[in-house]
Amino acid sequence: MVAARRKQAAKVVRIIRLGDPEAGLGQVDLCASGLAVGVEAGRFAMLEAVGRPDCILKRPFSYFGTEGPDQISFLIKEMGAGSRGLLQARPGDAIEVLGPFGNTFPHLASGAVWGVAGGVGAAPFGLLADRCARVLLGTRRQAEAGFAAALQARGVVVDLATDDGSAGFAGSVLALLEKALQKAAQPPQALFACGPTGMLAATAALARAHTLPCYASLEERMGCGFGVCRGCAHRDVSGGWRCICVDGPVYDAAQIFAAPASA
Amino acid sequence: MVAARRKQAAKVVRIIRLGDPEAGLGQVDLCASGLAVGVEAGRFAMLEAVGRPDCILKRPFSYFGTEGPDQISFLIKEMGAGSRGLLQARPGDAIEVLGPFGNTFPHLASGAVWGVAGGVGAAPFGLLADRCARVLLGTRRQAEAGFAAALQARGVVVDLATDDGSAGFAGSVLALLEKALQKAAQPPQALFACGPTGMLAATAALARAHTLPCYASLEERMGCGFGVCRGCAHRDVSGGWRCICVDGPVYDAAQIFAAPASA
Amino acid sequence: MSAPPEGLPAQMAVRIGSLQLASPLGLASGTCGWGAELEGMVDWSKVGALFTKGLSLQPRQGHPPPRIWETASGMLNAIGLENPGLEGFVADKLPFLRQLRREHGVVVLVNLFGTLAQEYAQLAAALDNLEGIDGVEINLSCPNVEAGGIEFGRSAATAFAVTQAVRRATRKFVAVKLSPAGPVLELAAAARAGGADALTMGNTMPGLAIDVRRRCSRLAAGSGGLSGPALRPINLRCVQQLFEAGSLPLIGGGGIATGDDALEFILAGAVALQVGTATFANPDAVGTIHAQLQTALGVDHLTACVGAASRPPPP
Amino acid sequence: MSAPPEGLPAQMAVRIGSLQLASPLGLASGTCGWGAELEGMVDWSKVGALFTKGLSLQPRQGHPPPRIWETASGMLNAIGLENPGLEGFVADKLPFLRQLRREHGVVVLVNLFGTLAQEYAQLAAALDNLEGIDGVEINLSCPNVEAGGIEFGRSAATAFAVTQAVRRATRKFVAVKLSPAGPVLELAAAARAGGADALTMGNTMPGLAIDVRRRCSRLAAGSGGLSGPALRPINLRCVQQLFEAGSLPLIGGGGIATGDDALEFILAGAVALQVGTATFANPDAVGTIHAQLQTALGVDHLTACVGAASRPPPP
Ligand SMILES: Cc1cc2nc3c(=O)[nH]c(=O)nc-3n(C[C@H](O)[C@H](O)[C@H](O)COP(=O)(O)OP(=O)(O)OC[C@H]3O[C@@H](n4cnc5c(N)ncnc54)[C@H](O)[C@@H]3O)c2cc1C
Ligand SMILES: Cc1cc2nc3c(=O)[nH]c(=O)nc-3n(C[C@H](O)[C@H](O)[C@H](O)COP(=O)(O)OP(=O)(O)OC[C@H]3O[C@@H](n4cnc5c(N)ncnc54)[C@H](O)[C@@H]3O)c2cc1C
Ligand SMILES: Cc1cc2nc3c(=O)[nH]c(=O)nc-3n(C[C@H](O)[C@H](O)[C@H](O)COP(=O)(O)O)c2cc1C
Ligand SMILES: Cc1cc2nc3c(=O)[nH]c(=O)nc-3n(C[C@H](O)[C@H](O)[C@H](O)COP(=O)(O)O)c2cc1C
Ligand code: FES
Ligand code: FES
């Protein structure tokens, strides 16, 4: 079912800073009548802090959670003016929400999937607690791992990997995934991945090696979110461009990442 | 004495809304170490609400009051983005203050002067309570007369005139001035005027008719406030341009407004 | 040009050449897809005209990402004129546009580009036989293969050649879209001589942004077109210049996001308008602007305001 | 052009033609008065060069107010080139500039304009004999009386004529300042042929704003020049275009307000920079930008970054 796309003026319920303040991570909870209608894992909204005229475009953020029909949550990392404006909002401030946009992660059996997330790629897994037996989350260092606690609070089992070994597994989330797949008594039936393109490509390669289906949520700079600007083009295996805001953002990874040419 | 011009990051102490909220009037109190040094009646500062990137230029506002060496006050009317940003600031927010700029009203004997103000022209009279026996203040209607109470709170004797007669004298501040001059037992030794150019010209003409010295504070759109943009040109009697941010804003009205050509 | 068309609700209706628009507000090319993308999110009754994404004879893939970058009060785009080509357009896009036209009275103009004057003409000829299209808009901001890749819009001679070729190929309405990079007065004269019905003023201005950390341009294609509020004063000035020079009827645009912005373009001399970038943050920007424009107009007819701006009175 | 000058602190020092600047940051013409206006509010040690307000042979009064209007991330100005004329300049303004040069090593360039090529040359000749002036910057954005009021900067032929006339009149450094309204490549070639030492890229872009309530332009003069961040992507693109075409050394500017903005211009190909509108809101903008630029450069020499921007690597 495609939910009606719409523009809503939401109010900030609360903003919870996550982990080390320097890392600039936060959870943003918004409410408005029917705001959660049509929200599903993988979909995203275009957000704008009203009255902050430093951005003329809205910014895309994956839905992280819902609370009844009127409340939605996002996990946001401060990158520039757009994300900063959202994280600096105060309870009661207005945030404009365009959405829901995009497709969803497939509805596989409960617990059948492992999630693989890098950085802000953690967000969609807040809505996948039942489908995912575990979510492997990679960040650079412990200070940036604030999203882990937010996922756990939604019932997600998180395996953390940090590049510098300051928390959890020491190394990349890919190395952790490889190790986990090798020693798993119950291997997953599929992987869901969300994060930087390089991480997605590596996850896709690993999935291929283990003959696991893999669904990846892609990221590109978005101007609109609903297919009119053509800003969000992403190359697929055939060499064509996918407009990931309407065609994606979730893809069977095999459609996007080519098998490595055999050496 | 010309005080050192400087840029200071001040903090909002409080913002007091004045009168009818719709009229968009407020008093803005700011503090920072030494902020009031060099402040005198007639001078102005260039203000900018920090973190509101909707303006690239600061806006000029006359000093309205000081409280010790560290606190200054302004009376501000909402006109557009710049003034709105200031009035919407909250206690603790940062406001950048460039100043003090400009010259001052002359130091005449205490009580020797009458003030004539239109709209936001009320502001400089907050620092002229001793020099001015009374200040005649004109506004369109009572709802816009919020500055009167602010002046009274600083010990200024205010005679209000409203165009629609909803408070005080019914008619223009000029009509009120004319009547007052006619029936005054103690006529003033000079007039100080601040307001729209048309009002200043009419005040100058009336002063001339009564052979009273008149000092007028002029207004033009300002880009900088310190003489580099040349935006604030105002015609003088010789037909030349005065750069009112450095040369003014206070002038002997006879230098600016020519005597009417005799008919 | 300035009498309100008969039988339309008067205040906001405009006539431009042979076209009657129920609203002066159009959706700008490349910012509204092929219409269908906006279905359900826009009040079509407020859309006077829809200018399609740029169409070429053959399908085009466009540029790799990043294709867009936000700048101070503006954005740069280098989409690379991605489009399905003539055949794909007729098969997949035209049906929805016909429906829009039929059900909502939206005037449909197809934005054309090519790499040779002949390609523009071939496209115009092919569209001339199709029902459901009111006219074409010639995008001159495309590299002219015969002139070593210099854009058609940089020389009056090529602008004339393209306009004339299109004019000869179609009986439908022909607008020529100029970039503020100019030279706009020369190009306007060339478009008129070539037989255009109207001018669109206008397109984006070439711009660049650099990622100082990675030391590379923000867009994969290098530079891109600047749109949005930052562009508004520039295009507005070109509109007034063209109006004062007595040009063809003008379709104005560039950074229109509010009713006051729209009115600025009308007062400068535009009869109709295009809303582009504003649609990205607010899919129904046209509806919002329509309401604001009506309020700003007060009791005036829109057509009475065209070109009405003067110099400010002396103080 | 890109070796750090001897005897200057290396990282931020630049040489451009015969000039050695201790800092790449200059104060743009018309935004810093004649220097004295900024005394006490700017850290002169961070000012590499000062470009004076435009100077003409005779004094000029300039336009009536309003002369400025703020737009989205930019501003329009129509000051009308108000200045005291050559005599007034020498008597009242030059002494302070000499002091600046002597005490702080600020390179002083006088911005010139005229209504005839001959006027530019006369000015340059008069300044050539004066101590305390390092060179001139030719402002081409002025109406050419002999060409019916079309700006010198709109035709390569007149740009060449002015440059050559000035070049013959002075042994000092000659920069030619271009507007992004172009055609920049042709004008750059003309300036080089005329004997210029450097190009300033550049000036404001023509723009307009209308007061929709009063139905008149915001500026008394009608249109004005757009400056500030809104202009940045446009001028930045022109700088890169000129750099890639292998032009004269480039002085870049337009909307520079932060160290990253400055670095963008350097990476696009500018050797030195001009800060204009940013000085209005922050008189020591140059000092702020200097510190930020140094941080952004890290260990790199500024001169090693000139023109270093590439296309983004494929993902
Ligand atoms: C479908 C989708 C879902 C997303 N979900 C989330 C989410 O749930 N939580 C979240 O925090 N973010 C999410 N993002 C990313 C988010 O949209 C960007 O971080 C945001 O748009 C940045 O805007 P800004 O104005 O804050 O920063 P900008 O000023 O636009 O950018 C600041 C700097 O960060 C860099 N940058 C910006 N965006 C990216 C990017 N996507 N990848 C790499 N570098 C970048 C820029 O190059 C720039 O140098 C999602 C993106 C997409 C496409
Ligand atoms: C020396 C000096 C002292 C001043 N002191 C005060 C003061 O103490 N208190 C105060 O409230 N204001 C004062 N002003 C006026 C104040 O600077 C302007 O109202 C302010 O700059 C408007 O900026 P904005 O961004 O809010 O509005 P803008 O967006 O710049 O303007 C909004 C609308 O208001 C109109 N407008 C703006 N400024 C003026 C003006 N000066 N006259 C007529 N119409 C105008 C514009 O035409 C525009 O349509 C002073 C001005 C000067 C030059
Ligand atoms: C993403 C994007 C794509 C565009 N594609 C086209 C196009 O294909 N053809 C065209 O003539 N103009 C195109 N334009 C220009 C717009 O139609 C419009 O003229 C310009 O953006 C200025 O208006 P605006 O500031 O309201 O966006 C495009 C603009 C944007 C932002
Ligand atoms: C108020 C004002 C006056 C200016 N006067 C001149 C001038 O006299 N001569 C000139 O060559 N440029 C003049 N300029 C252009 C600036 O020098 C600069 O090139 C332009 O503003 C772009 O830089 P910016 O965006 O940093 O301001 C003026 C600009 C402004 C804003
Ligand atoms: S974000 Fe605009 S088309 Fe995808
Ligand atoms: S406000 Fe800039 S010179 Fe007066």
Q: What is the pLDDT of residues B176-229, one digit of tens each?
A: 999 999 998 888 999 999 999 999 999 999 999 999 999 999 999 999 999 999
Q: What number of CA atoms fall less than 13 Å from residue B124's CA on the CB side?
A: 33
| DSSP three-state, residue C270 | coil
CB A144 within 8 A of CB A119: yes
Indicate whether C150 pLDDT > 70. yes
User: Residues lining ligand 6, judged by CB closer than 6 Å?
Assistant: B 222-225, 227-232, 243, 245
Q: Please provide the average confidence, as pLDDT, over all residues in chain A.
A: 92
Q: Judge whether C73 is closer than 8 Å to chain A, CB to CB.
A: yes
D315 vs C7: CA distance, rounded Å:
55
CB A86 within 8 A of CB A45: no
Q: Which of B232, B189, B229, B233 is nearest to B211 (CA)?
A: B189
Closest residue in C to A60 (Cα–Cα): C281
Interface of D with C in 139-178 (CB under 8 A): 154
Q: Is the CB of A222 under 6 A from ligand 5?
A: yes
CB C48 within 8 A of CB C21: yes
Interface of C with D in 259-278 (CB under 8 A): 260, 263-264, 267-268
Nearest atom (ligand 6) to Cα of B225: 1
Mutation pick for ligand 5 pocket among A221, A226, A234, A242 (CB with most ligand atoms within 8 Å): A226
Which residue's structure tokens are 């004076």? D52
| Alpha carbon of A54 to ligand 5 centroid (Å) | 20
B245 vs D65: CA distance, rounded Å:
14
Provide the pLDDT for residue D10: 65
Q: Is the CB of B73 under 6 A from ligand 2?
A: no
A41 vs C243: CA distance, rounded Å:
53
CB B113 within 8 A of CB B86: no
Give me the helices (H) in A78-216, please: 81-87, 146-153, 173-183, 197-209
Q: Is the CB of C277 under 6 A from ligand 3?
A: yes
Alpha-carbon torsion A144, A147, A150, A155, what sign? negative
A119 vs A144: CA distance, rounded Å:
8
C272 vs C283: CA distance, rounded Å:
19
CB C261 within 8 A of CB C255: yes
Q: Is the CB of D201 under 6 A from ligand 4?
A: no
Provide the pLDDT for residue C142: 81
Residue B36 Cα distances to B33, B48, B93, D271, angstroms: 8, 17, 18, 42
CA distance C71 to chain A (A): 9
Q: Is the CB of D252 under 6 A from ligand 4?
A: no
DSSP class of residue C309?
A: -
| DSSP three-state, residue C221 | coil
Closest residue in A to B85 (Cα–Cα): A51
* B41-76 confidence digits (pLDDT tens): 999 999 999 987 789 999 999 999 999 999 999 999
Say yes or no for a CB contact (<8 Å) between C75 and A224: no
Q: Which subunits count as partners of chain A given 3+ CB pairs below 8 Å?
A: B, C
Instruction: Kindly report the pTM of this predicted structure.
Output: 0.95
Supply the DSSP string of chain D, one letter for each residue.
Answer: --SPPTTS-TTT-EEETTEEESSSEEEPTTSSTTSGGGTTTS-GGG--EEEPSPB-SS-B--PPSP-EEEETTEEEE-----B-HHHHIIIIIHHHHHHHHHHH--EEEEEE--SSHHHHHHHHHHHHT-TT--EEEEE--SB-GGGTT-BGGG-HHHHHHHHHHHHHH-SSEEEEEEPTTS-HHHHHHHHHHTT-SEEEE---EEE--EETTTTEESBTTBSEEEESGGGHHHHHHHHHHHHHTT-S-EEEESS--SHHHHHHHHHHT-SEEEE-THHHH-TTHHHHHHHHHHHHHTT--GGGGTT--BPPPP-
* Active site positions of D, annotated: 142
Q: Which subunits count as partners of chain D given 3+ CB pairs below 8 Å?
A: B, C
Provide the pLDDT for residue C104: 96
Mutation pick for ligand 4 pocket among D136, D227, D289 (CB with most ligand atoms within 8 Å): D227
Q: How confident is the model at residue C8 (pLDDT cuts 50, 70, 90)?
A: very low
Structure tokens at B77: 């009317």
A157 vs A168: CA distance, rounded Å:
13
Q: Which of A31, A34, A42, A24 is nearest to A95 (CA)?
A: A31
Q: Give the residue whose CA is nearest to atom 28 of ligand 4.
A: D30
Which helix (H) or strand (E) is C69 found in, with range?
strand C68-71
A27 vs A29: CA distance, rounded Å:
7
Structure tokens at D169: 């009149």
B125 vs B110: CA distance, rounded Å:
13
Indicate whether A24 pLDDT > 80. yes
Q: Show pLDDT as tens, one digit a residue, over chain D (315 residues).
A: 344 444 444 689 999 999 999 999 999 999 999 999 999 999 999 999 999 999 999 999 999 999 999 999 999 999 998 999 999 999 999 999 999 999 999 999 999 999 989 999 999 999 999 999 999 999 998 877 777 777 888 889 999 999 999 999 999 999 999 999 989 999 999 999 999 999 999 999 999 999 999 999 999 999 999 999 999 999 999 999 999 999 899 999 999 999 999 999 999 999 999 999 999 999 999 999 999 999 999 888 899 999 999 877 766
Say yes or no for a CB contact (<8 Å) between D210 and C310: no
CA distance B222 to chain A (A): 22
CB D108 within 8 A of CB D36: no
Q: Is the CB of B76 under 6 A from ligand 2?
A: yes
Which residue's structure tokens are 């090798």? A182
Q: Judge whether C208 is closer than 8 Å to chain D, CB to CB.
A: yes
Query: What ligand is nearest to the CA atom of residue D50?
Result: 4
Provide the pLDDT for residue D9: 47
CB B108 within 8 A of CB B131: yes
∠ CA(B77), CA(B79), CA(B83), 5° rounding?
65
∠ CA(D242), CA(D243), CA(D248), 5° rounding?
80
DSSP class of residue C89?
A: I
A251 vs A32: CA distance, rounded Å:
30
Q: How confident is the model at residue A243 (pLDDT cuts 50, 70, 90)?
A: very high
Indicate whether B262 pLDDT > 60. no
Provide the pLDDT for residue C10: 65
- C28 burial (CB, 10 Å; 0-12 / 13-18 / 19+) is buried
* C172-229 confidence digits (pLDDT tens): 999 999 999 989 999 999 999 999 999 999 999 999 999 999 999 999 999 999 999 9
| Alpha carbon of A181 to ligand 3 centroid (Å) | 48
CA distance A91 to chain B (A): 14
What type of residue is B262? Answer: S
Q: Is the CB of D203 under 6 A from ligand 4?
A: yes
Q: Please provide the average confidence, as pLDDT, over all residues in chain C.
A: 93
DSSP class of residue B222?
A: -
Interface of A with C in 3-22 (CB under 8 A): 4-7
CB D134 within 8 A of CB D164: no
CA distance C37 to chain A (A): 6
B10 vs B70: CA distance, rounded Å:
9
